[in-house]
Amino acid sequence: MRRISLKARRTAGCVALLLAMQGLASCGGGGGGTGFIGPVTTATTAGTTPAAPTAQDACAGISGMSIPASMIGKPTSGAIVQSATFVAADAKDNTNGEYCAVTGIIVPATAGAPTMEFQVNLPTQWNERALHMGGGGYDGTLVTGLGPYVSQPNGTPNALKQGYVTLGGDGGHKGAVFDGTFALNDEALLNYGQLSVKKVHDVAMAIIQKRYGAKPRRFYFIGGSQGGHEGLDAAARYAADYDGVIANYPAYNLSLLQQASLYVGRALYDNGGAGWINDNKRKLLVNAVYAACDSLDGLSDGIIGNIQACNAAFNINTVKATLRCPGGADAGDSCLSDAQINAIDKISSPYDLGFPIAGQQVFARWPLLEGGDFSFFGAGSALGFAPVPTSAATPPADALLYTIGAAHARYFVAKDPLLNPLTYDPANYKARLQELGGITEVTQQSLEAFRAKGGKLILTHGTTDGLISPHNTEDYYNLQVTQFGQPAVDSFIRFFMIPGFDHGSGRYNLGYDGLAVLSNWVENGQAPDTIASVDNNAADPAAARSRPMCRWPLWPRFTGAAGTESNASSYTCTAS
């Protein structure tokens, strides 16, 4: 593998010049006054034909490239390619074929704001398509585009290996997954909320045109969680740039979501932690849910498929009747106190903020009584380990949703790192929360332009997601039906709910060939109805069990014979 990169002094000089002269044409990368380096050629003598550049030469020609602010559709001070690395197909640990990895920074428009890191991977054998991959949590880590996209089946070739240009960014700042400190900076917050998608896309377009002399025929986006939010940004805010989007378990209404997340924490921790549920009690509740609901989909396999029937078979009244401690006081791990049952009731009921954010006031119930086990990504309790949270609000010691909501309240809303989340009242910050609704929410961003251009959107969510409620995505889908009507929605949106799937993990860890499904819909008109999926929990992809992904509100009922439980063909998508 040969690495070609800018020297440190060249990078520093470019940053200084770009900050000083917004719209700077070129900075040490060669080329003319446009900052867009022309095709690489080989020196020739008169009367001879120039030799075509090799892929390695073409990669080298991108090193040092500068992209002026005028080529980026949102405010910046331009962008700089810091390195262009040619990776041979047989390079150690490379499974993506021959490509050029291009990394760099987008310089902020305002002094003091952080830079935005990006990576664009350019395959030598290009299929004339590009895939933008989204981030997660509060971003802060570069999405390299070198690995699988969200929910890609294990053992299948990555998009880069298939010939797609792949790209990603860091959301416009650096930090841990739920580190909200960046939100104290207005430009960093705006980048996270909606602008980073556009900025990284436009920089990638300049690099793609430099390398291949052409634009992609198709541009796709796939992400999950915050990356799902970014996918909806791509479709709703930047419809002209994208042909197809997959938004998996999207955090599309961040401010309302995090108010609801903090509400979960308050349900557990208020009144000195009277409602807090320890790990043994959590397991007691989860086991009771599965005992009542697991078989309602035709098969007892640790996956609850028939949520509607489960709601009837096991609900808060069932909890009170079967799990309540005698007299209502806490009597140990074999029962639940009245305070704990009250906390469960709050968590498993819709949360009304009391005023709207971006037109939405009520956050849907969490699936605590529907199979969600509220574990920390499958390992240990996500409800914390003590009835009183730490002042730092840090998982896993403290409840996961509480820590995320606390970070949002402190850094996004109040801009006060010392704020006590247990005394925070969102009603006192109504104006700020509604302002944030215009920055971080996609709720009211219409998909009309995306629909009109022929764009296609696939939504997915898991029934047991304890980080973003699956019913929240139901609400988003229903908003689209209200706006467009069912026939129009069916023409460009497909929504799939996956039993047993949590937040990127779960008892059934979803794997499906989303990129193929999406491109077939966009390019060949093959609208997905029922999609084949596999369980990515399997150590051997060839031995993974399979299930159909059913279009919501359908779900997979087991209708096969004994011994065929692992075959998707043994399930029928049904509404009842």
How far CA 90 is from CA of 54, 94, 96, 157, in Å, comes to 17, 7, 10, 16
DSSP string of 52-83, one letter each residue: PPPHHHHHHTTTT-EE-GGGSSSS-S-EEEEE
Tell me the catalytic residues: 225, 465, 503
Virtual torsion, Cα 267, 270, 273, 275, nearest 10 deg: -30
Token pair belonging to 61:
């020609």
Q: In 3D, which of 474, 454, 453 has the Cα closest to residue 462?
A: 474
* Pair of tokens at residue 121: 């991977």
DSSP string for 376-412: STTSSBSS-SSSS--TT--TTTS-HHHHHHHHIIIII
> Rounded CA gap, 494 and 12, in Å?
47
Cα dihedral: 150, 151, 156, 158 (round 10): -10
Nearest to 165 by CA among 209, 210, 132: 132
DSSP run (H or E) holding 211? helix 196-212
- Do 242 and 198 form a contact (C-beta atoms < 8 A)? no
The pair of structure tokens assigned to 216 is 């992609």
In whole angstroms, what is the distance from residue 3 CA to residue 406 CA? 43
User: Residue 75: is the preceding peptide bond cis (ω within 30°)?
Assistant: no
375-408 residues labelled b (16+ CB within 10 A) or e (exposed):
bebeeebbbbeeeebeeebebbebbbbbbbbbbb
Strands (E) across 265-422 are located at: 351-357, 360-363
User: For 336, which DSSP code?
Assistant: B
Cβ-contact 318, 324 below 8 angstroms? no
Continuous segment of H or E residues that includes residue 537: none
What is the DSSP annotation of 127-168? Answer: -SEEEEE---TT--S---S-SPPTTPPTTSPPTTTTT-EEEE
Kindly report the number of other CB atoms within 10 A of residue 312's CB atom.
12
* 8 A C-beta contact, residue 490 and residue 552: no
Name residue 574's amino acid.
T
Phi/psi at 312 (5° precision)? -80, -35
User: What is the phi-psi region of residue 4: left when phi exceeds 0, alpha when psi lies from -120 to 50, beta otherwise?
Assistant: beta
- At residue 387, φ and ψ (nearest 5 deg) are -75, -15
What is the C-alpha to C-alpha distance for residues 112 and 381, in angstroms, rounded to an integer? Answer: 39
